[in-house]
Amino acid sequence: GQQVMQIPQYQHVQEGEDFTTYCNSSTTLSNIQWYKQRPGGHPVFLIQLVKSGEVKKQKRLTFQFGEAKKNSSLHITATQTTDVGTYFCAGPRVQGAQKLVFGQGTRLTINP
Amino acid sequence: DSGVTQTPKHLITATGQRVTLRCSPRSGDLSVYWYQQSLDQGLQFLIQYYNGEERAKGNILERFSAQQFPDLHSELNLSSLELGDSALYFCASSHGGEYYEQYFGPGTRLTVT
């Protein structure tokens, strides 16, 4: 079945360093969504990408959707302690489906 | 606050028992999703309802069942509980299909002893 793989599984950085997590799908995605889950919290929607090659920015966060719509990345510039958490990507199971397949997530920890 | 409410927050029960988790979606959202998150694991999709009808099913065990009521709140029933069922159970709601973001509730932490 369709899989959404995320790498790395864990990332530890020094505060101020950059961070990137990658998401790869075995099939073409109509769109991709990114969520953040703080420790002890619930997933919170960050952004959705729909177009091939799309790039969106939210302050220090940059999201990209691959040209083939099979991969995506989230890049955080100059991490801060508030960025700590697990970042999940999610894509629809199949075109037109309402079920999202979540990646396993990348857990980001930061040394202040 | 996502606008999605879940009760109870915590639940401790014994093996073999049955529990019901409740979820109220955001106002106006017709879709409700249930997820299971075990310790240090990702989000495992269980089941989705849209306007009272089952729309998609994930790796939901036969011991688990769910429904969505006319007022759109949903319940997840877990029976014959096993130690391995201990997890965080999240409910999420969205306006509709794949292009709509999901809003997650605070979760119910289930501990089976």
How do residues A60-77 score in pLDDT, each as one tens digit?
999 999 999 999 999 999
Facing B43 at nearest CB: one of A45, A88, A98: A88
Q: Do A98 and B101 touch (CB under 8 A)?
A: no
Q: Do B56 and A98 touch (CB under 8 A)?
A: yes
Helix (H) or strand (E) holding A34: strand A32-37
pLDDT of A10 over the 90 cut: yes
pLDDT of B4 reads 97
Enter the tokens of residue B78: 């877990």
Query: A42: Cβ–Cβ under 8 A, 6 or more apart, which residues?
Result: B2, B90, B104, B105, B106, B107
Angle at B34 between CA B58 and CA B27, to 5 degrees: 135
pLDDT of A1 over the 70 cut: no
